[in-house]
């Protein structure tokens, strides 16, 4: 299973107004583990930034002046993402800009080469009525984003990779439910990487309300089970109660 966590930075909020992509950041996951095979490019947009966009990204036309245009990296980008599942937060935004870049070059549709999973839609389904920005999800899921002071394509893709793994973690994360041979084969696909290359793993933090709900459920089970409940006592103490 090859997944690409992707984020873009742009000169403004709408491609229909002539805004362009100025940064693409991608993190490759193999069997839900970062492989270190990332893709990161700054791009010369040939248009001005909208008011406020430079402050969000920290990028400028001066910095991007000697960077390649999208047409110069499109073949490399397509070869990298071809056939993968793209993991994107608010996918309509990034895909809209990327499809526009493809259309301007007459290169067909990116959506015909990849599948797309929107983590914003996933988060809204899991946490309805709550804020589900990337920063909000980091706080809720215990993902460290303290180093995120500006929006950046590769940095945001790295953070989103941790958020996605936390959102979708379950038995499959540690190989439960897989035949032994299949699990061993999957593990063999991902090589050992230098610790400095691997991305930080998410820290799942239990909230006070979750602990309170857990204790309340245990208390109901105790009352229902009566003497059959073993709450840390020795077996002979339960029998003799």
- Those residues whose C-beta lies under 8 Å from the C-beta of residue 20, and which sit 6 or more positions away, are 10, 11, 43, 45, 46, 47, 70, 97, 101
How many other CB atoms are there within 10 angstroms of residue 184's CB atom?
A: 11
Tokens matching residue 139: 């706080």
Q: What are the distances in angstroms from CA 212 to CA 127, 129, 204, 207?
A: 19, 22, 17, 9
Whole-angstrom Cα distance, residue 166 to residue 142?
9
Tokens matching residue 26: 């991608």
- Those residues whose C-beta lies under 8 Å from the C-beta of residue 207, and which sit 6 or more positions away, are none
Active site residues: 151
In contact, 148 and 133? CB cutoff 8 Å: no
Tokens matching residue 215: 């204790």
> What angle is formed at CA 227 by the lines to CA 222 and CA 233, rounded to 5 degrees?
80
In contact, 158 and 27? CB cutoff 8 Å: yes
Whole-angstrom Cα distance, residue 173 to residue 176?
8
């Amino acid at each position: 299973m090859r997944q690409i966590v992707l984020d873009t930075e742009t000169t403004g909020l709408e491609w229909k107004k002539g805004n362009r992509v100025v940064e693409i950041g991608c993190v490759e996951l193999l069997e839900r583990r970062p492989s270190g095979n990332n893709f990161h490019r700054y791009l010369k947009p040939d248009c001005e930034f909208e008011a406020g966009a430079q402050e969000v990204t920290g990028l400028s036309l001066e910095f991007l002046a000697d960077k390649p245009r999208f047409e110069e990296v499109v073949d490399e980008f397509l070869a990298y993402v071809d056939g993968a599942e793209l993991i994107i937060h608010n996918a309509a935004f990034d895909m809209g800009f990327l499809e526009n870049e493809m259309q301007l070059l007459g290169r067909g549709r990116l959506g015909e080469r990849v599948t797309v999973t929107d983590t914003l839609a996933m988060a809204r389904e899991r946490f309805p009525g709550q804020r589900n920005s990337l920063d909000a999800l980091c706080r809720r899921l215990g993902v460290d984003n303290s180093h995120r002071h500006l929006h950046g394509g590769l940095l945001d893709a790295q953070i989103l990779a941790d958020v996605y793994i936390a959102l979708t973690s379950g038995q499959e994360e540690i190989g439960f439910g897989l035949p032994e041979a299949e699990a061993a084969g999957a593990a063999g696909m991902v090589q050992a990487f230098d610790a400095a290359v691997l991305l930080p793993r998410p820290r799942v933090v239990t909230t006070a309300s979750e602990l309170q709900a857990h204790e309340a459920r245990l208390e109901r089970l105790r009352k229902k089970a009566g003497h059959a409940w073993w709450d840390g006592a020795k077996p002979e103490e339960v029998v003799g109660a």
